[in-house]
């Protein structure tokens, strides 16, 4: 008994399937690298670094306006006394005043390089 001959289209189909997989991975990698390059060169990366929880020391300015006072901590537990409440309201009002100084909260000013400290 002889082996049946394989159809040439079946042989090429497997090879084409592997080529399709490899090309799709290469296209995905290329487009991801291009988008990351554009993200970095356009400066949008610094918008993400302006968030307080972001760890981007190059994006934060050393200006006095952008420094936060980390010495103040509101107690997680314990009694709420008049003294504690007054201290909390003082800190809250200082942050609130800084936000009220922004003339156009939905305009370009809050995202300008100066206000973000870039």
Of 24 and 115, which is predicted with more confidence? 24
- Work out the average pLDDT over 19-35: 97
34: left (phi over 0), alpha (psi -120 to 50) or beta: alpha
Is residue 83 one of the residues assigned to a domain? yes
> How many domains does one find in the chain?
1
Supply the Cα-derived Rg of the chain in whole angstroms. 29
pLDDT for 27: 98
Q: For residue 117, is it within any domain?
A: yes
C-alpha 32/C-alpha 38 separation (Å) is 10
> Whole domain around residue 117: which residue ranges?
62-118
Residue 35 within a domain: no
Within a domain: 118: yes
Residue 36 within a domain: no
The average pLDDT across 37-55 equals 75
Average pLDDT on 70-81 reads 68
pLDDT of residue 92: 86
Domain-embedded: residue 112: yes
Over residues 83-112, mean pLDDT: 79
pLDDT, residue 106, reads 72
Closest by Cα among 116, 26, 100 to 66: 116
**pLDDT value of position 3:** 64
């Amino acid at each position: 008994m002889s082996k049946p001959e394989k159809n040439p289209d079946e042989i090429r189909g497997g090879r084409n399937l592997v080529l399709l997989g490899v090309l799709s991975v290469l296209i995905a990698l290329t487009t991801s690298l291009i988008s990351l390059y554009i993200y970095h060169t356009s400066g949008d990366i610094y918008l993400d670094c302006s968030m307080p929880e972001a760890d981007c020391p190059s994006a934060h300015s050393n200006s006095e306006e952008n420094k936060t006072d980390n010495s103040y901590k509101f107690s997680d537990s314990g009694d709420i006394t008049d003294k504690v409440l007054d201290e909390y309201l003082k800190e809250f009002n200082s942050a609130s005043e800084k936000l009220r100084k922004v003339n156009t909260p939905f305009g370009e000013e809050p995202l300008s390089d100066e206000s973000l400290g870039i």
